[in-house]
Amino acid sequence: MGHFDRGVQGLVVLAAVLLGAGRHPSASADETEGSLTSSRETREARAASRPPARTAAPRLRLVWIDVLDSAPYAFEGAARETSAILADAGVVAAWTLGDSSTVTAADELKVVLMAGVANGARLPEHVMGGTRGGGQSHTTWIYLSNVLWALGLKEEPTRRLSLQEEEQVARALGRVVAHEVVHAVVPDLVHSHGGLMAEKLGRAFLVQARAFLGPAEQKALRAGAERYAAAGEPARAPLTLAVAGH
Ligand SMILES: [Zn+2]
């Protein structure tokens, strides 16, 4: 696997095209935990038609935390891919490159890249990402080793990845991140039978030219992102004044 010391700290804000509109109501669900398992099955991408432009787009603040610096080459490409998928849904992604000591704000979503799945974690085999359910979540975990496995890049762990493979990993990570961002922001959305929100994503989907959310998922993500940003605003506690007088 290729390791390069070019993980530069700093703020990277990716400009995004403001697009989006959905026609279907969001799916309701009973799922409490969203996890994304990799698979080598071939899955067809669902082609989503480009939605018409709109003026106001909610903004999601995402913080990339590569705990062990296991894929410093991947941040830019992964962030670009996630941002493109979110932009197609009419959501603007604003990325920060952080590290394990980064303290995040209330309206930020931490994207934590783990080298592998920790022993003892009750996670499905080959899980590529996981987000706690039950409500909007501010942390999501991405498991690099299983993304590499899904891409077929794990057979020779000592071999350094080519630049092309690094780009492939970055783009695949960006898709897994987008999938998990949807879970974090829209906790009640169910998995779809195909496409980006399928429970399993195989190599064919991870390497194909483009990935989209479905129209109903895009609409749900926009609505969720609006709530997500609002939740980070300082709460206005009711002001009670005790006025002395007689
Ligand atoms: Zn999932």
Centre of ligand 1 to C-alpha 56, Å, is 27
Centre of ligand 1 to C-alpha 156, Å, is 28
Mode of pairing for the β-strands spanning 59-66 and 200-201: unpaired
Give the other-Cβ count within 10 Å of 232's Cβ: 12
| Residue 195, in any domain of the structure | yes
Query: CB within 5 A of ion ligand 1: which residues?
Result: 34, 36
Q: Which amino acid is at 91?
A: V
Using a 10 angstrom Cβ sphere, with 0-12 exposed, 13-18 middle and 19 or more buried, the burial of residue 229 is middle
Q: What does the block give as tokens for 144?
A: 């690099």
Print pLDDT tens along the chain (246 aa).
333 333 322 222 232 323 333 333 443 333 334 567 665 443 333 434 455 555 589 999 999 999 999 999 999 999 999 999 999 999 999 999 998 888 888 899 999 999 988 766 677 889 999 999 999 999 999 999 999 999 999 877 678 899 999 999 999 999 999 999 999 999 999 999 999 999 999 999 999 999 999 999 999 999 999 999 787 655 444 444 455 554
In the β-sheet with 33-38, what is the strand arrangement from edge to edge? 10-12, 92-98, 59-66, 108-114, 139-143, 127-132, 33-38, 200-201
Which residues, 6 or more positions from 35, have their beta carbon under 8 angstroms from its beta carbon? 123, 124, 127, 129, 130, 131, 199
Identify which of 176, 105, 93, 107 has the alpha carbon closest to the alpha carbon of residue 136.
107
Number of domains in the chain: 1
3-state secondary structure of 206: helix
Centre of ligand 1 to C-alpha 5, Å, is 32
- CATH code at position 97: 3.40.390
| Residue 163, in any domain of the structure | yes
Centre of ligand 1 to C-alpha 2, Å, is 28
| Residue 246, in any domain of the structure | no
| Residue 3, in any domain of the structure | no
pLDDT of res. 35: 60
Q: At what angle do helices 163-185 and 75-88 cross, to 10 degrees?
A: 50
Q: Which domain holds residue 159?
A: 37-45+88-115+124-231
What's the rounded Cα separation, in Å, for the pair 2 and 204? 22
Centre of ligand 1 to C-alpha 142, Å, is 11
| Residue 203, in any domain of the structure | yes
| Residue 165, in any domain of the structure | yes
Centre of ligand 1 to C-alpha 234, Å, is 30
pLDDT of res. 52: 52
Centre of ligand 1 to C-alpha 55, Å, is 29
| Residue 23, in any domain of the structure | no
| Residue 60, in any domain of the structure | no
Centre of ligand 1 to C-alpha 244, Å, is 57
Centre of ligand 1 to C-alpha 245, Å, is 60
Centre of ligand 1 to C-alpha 129, Å, is 8
Centre of ligand 1 to C-alpha 229, Å, is 22
Identify which of 114, 83, 76, 116 has the alpha carbon closest to the alpha carbon of residue 97.
76
Centre of ligand 1 to C-alpha 174, Å, is 14
